[in-house]
Amino acid sequence: MASITLDNVVKTYPDGFTAVRGVDLDIADGEFVILVGPSGCGKSTLLRMIVGLEDITEGELRIGDEVVNDKAPRDRNLAMVFQNYALYPHLTVYENIAFPLRLNKGEFTDTEIDERVRNASALLELDEHLERKPANLSGGQRQRVAMGRAIVRNAQAFLFDEPLSNLDAKLRGQMRTEIARLQRNLGTTTVYVTHDQTEAMTLGDRVAVLRRGELQQVASPRGLYEQPTNLFVAGFIGSPPMNFLPAKVEGDSLRLPTFEVPMDDRLKRAVGDRDVLIVGVRPDAFEDTDIMQETKEGLTFEVEVDVTEWLGEVLYAYVPFEASSEVNKQLEELDRDLDGESMRPQLVVALDATSQVRAGDVAELWLSPDSLYVFDPETGENLTRDEATAEKLEEEARDQRARALERAKQRREKARTQEGSAA
Amino acid sequence: MGMSTRGKVGWLIATLLVLVWSLFPVFSILMTSFKTQDGLFSGTLLPPEWTFENYAEILAPGGSAQDLFLPALRNSIGISLISTFIAVVLATFCAYAIARLDFRGKKLILTSALAVSVFPVVSIVTPLFNLWRSVGLYDTWAGLIIPYLSLTLPISIWTLSAFFRQIPWELEQAAQVDGATPFVAFRKAVVPLAAPGVFTSAIIAFFIAWNDFVYGISLTSTTAARPVPAALSFFTGASQFEEPTGAISAAAIVVTVPVVVVVLIFQRRIVSGLTQGAVKG
């Protein structure tokens, strides 16, 4: 097990396309880091550079304290799970898992190999499938075999390249928790590439958001959600995504398409002397005043609801708005970057499932100005980001992580002593 | 497979028709090979009188066509095997490079391979005849193996590169990450999967060489290199009034047997879909 350090890593393909533009990333020993971003952001390229399947054009990659830029994949002692699983179809499940061990001739005896394969298969509940060929397995089973092949040797780190994207939604959820459990138990440094932000948010200790080959922000899931550094991260993290509204400063208030916000100190500081801004607001920041338990301080305003979607635990209401403003170009570009194809500007509002608001209604909504984000329309920078709060969130995440690792270590030791006393 | 009973019956009838269509001539020749000299003109499908004298004529010591047929058989087997082997080995490397690497002239190799394979054989056989005579390759094994390669290599390159393309590249990369050198990855992850493709193209290449007539008759003059298809045309009857039909039929059956044996041996290896299960499914 080891740390992985990327120091200004650049990837330029022979045709001149630069897929990764100077990424700095420190992955601590035992940490679970997610590389996430829309398609074409360079996340898979970055992973393949770490494992050695792509050359590093510039910069330095260190595993532990060792620079490994010029090392072949086999000398880096990393284990990788591929998107397509890449199982050897001519070998049984047993031999697939044993494959990495057999390659290192002489390092393991047959009994050692057998023991390790059986350990891995027990961990992944593959015992009854050991003699089958990959072709006869279900998608989830193949996925587990691929993971078995990764954990069977003591690799310095696990690398996952969108491992769940070929599974159906239900299985994906199950495997996601399986991977999380496995990583916690083994405590192995893990880098995980995905375009699915649910996977990113649920699995990672830290999440690195990439856009067009550039690192946007590296933070804990909560840090990304609550204190995004810019428009892109704010729009990428969260589902349904954050609403972005064009805003104009009018005296002491911000004029938005559907409502007006009187600026408090926080907003005034963020706005500065700009007069056009982009305001972001999470769908769940809104509440339906009809079913609010108590009156809270904040804004109330009426909107015309176009469509509603009732999902049992939440009600989504869609509120179209006119968007004739200077920031439209910015928002359209952002939409393209996020792989979006929004047809018309609309506000997505997540209300309590008991809300009676339905399509065509005029609803009165409540919103706290504290939940608004303000972005610079030119740079996309989050003007309301609070560094102190962000740092506190990271600290909390680090503490939680340390506690989880400590617990896993204790469990492992406990299991070992029990095994010892049983034998 | 959700095929209706009617569909199954339809397929069965179609299959039977094709089988009869393609196997009836073989059966007819087989029967002819058992006919006596007189029986050849009986006009019946089955021989009125069964005999092995045609086989004796080409195989047994002292048979009239034996000294023509047996060396030809040896030549055919040797030349076909060697040209198949060379073609498959070269084509494997070539096709692997075409499937995996991105290099200039890749398209050129494929198109020129295709061009060579569609080039009419008769148009180059006369120049070859003159060339071979002056460089001393006329009537030698090498003199046939080289032109056979021009027929077997292109088809092998095409079938194999199509085959290699089906093998997910991730398999090799996975093997490399697992600790294999590129060559070990090729040997342990690609070769086992490519085996059916290699056997398929080997069989196709073997048949092309085995069946050739034009080069065989034009570039040889003696039993030193003359292959079976060419040798058959030199069969004569016991006298000039006798047709060698029986002996030719027997020889045709004898040269069909190795082909059938080869296919039966490798039938199991030519199972498609071996790569199934390597990737998502």
CA B7 – CA B147 distance, rounded (Å): 46
Q: Are residues A151 and A253 in the same domain?
A: no
* Arithmetic mean of pLDDT, B143-170: 88
Q: Which of A115, A165, A116, A158 is nearest to A139 (CA)?
A: A165
Which helix (H) or strand (E) is B273 found in, with range?
Answer: none
- Residues in chain B, total: 281
Q: Which of B88, B119, B106 is nearest to B191 (CA)?
A: B88
For residue A396, being part of any structural domain is answered with: no
Residue A176 shares a structural domain with residue A60: yes
Q: Are both A120 and A209 inside the same structural domain?
A: yes
Please name the amino acid found at residue B281. Answer: G
ipTM of the complex model: 0.81
Do A88 and B170 make contact, defined as CB atoms within 8 angstroms?
no
Q: Are residues A214 and A276 in the same domain?
A: no
Are residue A109 and residue A216 in the same domain, yes or no? Answer: yes
Closest Cα in chain B, distance from residue A115 (Å): 18
**Which candidate from B174, B181, B274 shows the least CB-CB separation from A82?**
B174
Evaluate if residue B203 carries a pLDDT over 90: no
Q: What is the pLDDT of residue B275?
A: 43
Which residues of A are less than 8 Å from B274 in CB distance?
Answer: 89-90
Contact check, Cβ <8 Å, B179/A87 = no
Q: Is the pLDDT reported for residue B36 higher than 90?
A: no
User: Going from the N-terminus, what domains does chain B have, and what CATH number goes with each?
Assistant: 67-266 (1.10.3720.10)
**CATH no. for residue A121?**
3.40.50.300
Nearest residue, CB atoms, A80 vs list B171, B174, B189: B174
Do the domain assignments include residue A141? yes
Out of A226, A253, A272, pick the residue that ends a domain.
Answer: A226
pLDDT tops 70 at residue B237: no
For residue B279, give the nearest of A72, A85, A100 by CB distance: A85
Task: Give the pLDDT of residue A348.
Answer: 93
* Residue to test with chain A: of B177, B268, B275, most A Cβ within 10 A: B177
Whether A15 and A155 map to the same domain: the answer is yes
Domain-embedded: residue A402: no
Range of the domain at A41: 4-226
Interface test with B, best of A77, A82, A117 (most B CBs within 10 A): A82
Residues A276, A130 share a domain: no
What would you report as the CA-atom Rg of chain B, rounded to the nearest whole angstrom? 23
Under 8 Å between Cβ of A176 and A144: no
> Looking at the complex, does the CB of residue B280 fall below 8 Å from at least one CB of chain A?
yes
pLDDT at B274: 43
The edge-to-edge listing of strands for the beta sheet with A307-310 is A307-310, A314-320, A346-352
- Band (B268; pLDDT cuts 50, 70, 90): low
For chain A, which residues score pLDDT lower than 50?
Answer: none
Given this model, what pLDDT does residue A344 score? Answer: 77
Q: Are residues A219 and A286 in the same domain?
A: no
Shortest Cα–Cα distance, B7 to chain A (Å): 28
Touching check for A137 and chain B: CB below 8 Å?
yes
Q: Answer yes or no: is pLDDT of B240 > 50.
A: yes
Quick check: B277 and A103 CB within 8 A? no
The number of distinct structural domains making up chain A is 2
Answer yes or no: are the C-beta atoms of B135 and A15 closer than 8 Å: no
Residue written as tokens 């990450």? Answer: B177
Answer yes or no: do A128 and A212 share one domain. yes
Q: What is the pLDDT of residues B257-267, one digit of tens each?
A: 878 887 777 76
- Does A155 lie in the same domain as A39? yes
User: How far is B99 from chain A, CA to nearest CA, in Å?
Assistant: 17
What is the nearest CA distance from A98 to chain B, expressed in angstroms?
10
State how far the Cα of A303 lies from the Cα of A317, in Å rounded to an integer: 10
Q: What pLDDT sits at residue A423?
A: 52
Q: Given CB atoms, is A168 within the 8 Å cutoff of chain B? A: no
A162 residue type, one letter:
E
pLDDT at B168: 84
Q: A167: nearest CA in chain B?
A: B280
Residue A138 lies in a domain: yes
Is residue A193 located within the same domain as residue A342?
no
* A219 plus A356 within the same structural domain: no
Instruction: For chain A, give the secondary structure using H, E and C.
Output: CCCEEEEEEEEECCCCCEEEEEEEEEECCCCEEEEECCCCCCHHHHHHHHHCCCCCCEEEEEECCEECCCCCHHHCCEEEECCCCCCCCCCCHHHHHHHHHHHCCCCCCHHHHHHHHHHHHHHCCCHHHCCCCHHHCCHHHHHHHHHHHHHCCCCCEEEEECCCCCCCHHHHHHHHHHHHHHHHHHCCEEEEEECCHHHHHHHCCEEEEEECCEEEEEECHHHHHHCCCEHHHHHHCCCCCCEEEEEEEECCEEECCCCEEECCHHHHHHHCCCCEEEEEECHHHCEEHHHCCCCCCCEEEEEECCEEEECCCEEEEEEECCCCCCCHHHHHHHHHHCCCCCCCCEEEEEEECCCCCCCCCEEEEEECHHHCEEECCCCCEECCCCHHHHHHHHHHHHHHHHHHHHHHHHHHHHHHHHHHHHC
Average pLDDT over residues B21-39: 89
Q: Is B126 on the interface with A (CB under 8 A)?
A: no
